[in-house]
Amino acid sequence: MLMTDTLFYTIFKTKLGWIGVLSSLAGLRAVTLPQNTQKQAFNSLGEQANQAVLSPELFSDLTEKFQDYYSGKETTFPDELDFSNASAFQKLVWQAARLIPYGETGSYGWIARQIGKPKAARAVGQALGKNPFLIVVPCHRVIAGDGTLGGFGGGLAMKQALLGLENTPLQYRAHAPTISAQS
């Protein structure tokens, strides 16, 4: 019998490197960017991974989705995210970032407006910097209001590579198309 706080993980290889995924019964807890080795992918999952059970069979569908994504195919990721380690503000920001479609970008200010806090663009950037659901919550699609890349925890070269993988135009758009936060 599994305890409700049991964590599960898997490590798998994609075209760009090794990915680690950590999950609880409530949903995804963490996803890494591509790493050079399995060990780096595991370590990138953080301390929680040390108590997790290696369970690749639980992640077969998700593994396939990441294989597709890193092969340049448009991919939709699951909605089951475990926000138990997130603040209410982070959860709002991460949910709004998921509204930005594949191949498009939105600004930090756009997200701030979507969550009803139009003056919180800097705080949005800080929340995105703590995003544990990389790619699933596409913080790489969020750019500065002036159209420049802004920041990215994985480095700007990785951000550029991910946007390139999605065939996002090189002249980055300052705002995503108008999307209702209620959808």
User: Active-site residue numbers?
Assistant: 139
For the chain, state the CA radius of gyration: 16
**Cβ atoms of 54 and 33 closer than 8 Å:** no
Closest CA to 23 of 158, 120, 51, 140: 51
Strand 106-107 relative to strand 17-24, pairing = unpaired
- One-letter amino acid for residue 170 of the chain: L
Across the beta sheet with 27-31, the strand order is: 27-31, 17-24, 8-14, 53-54
DSSP state of 63: H
Beta-sheet strands, E only, within 35-88: 53-54
User: Distance from first CA to last CA of the chain, Å, rounded?
Assistant: 37
Q: For residues 99 and 161, give the distance between their C-alpha atoms in angstroms, rounded to a whole number.
A: 20
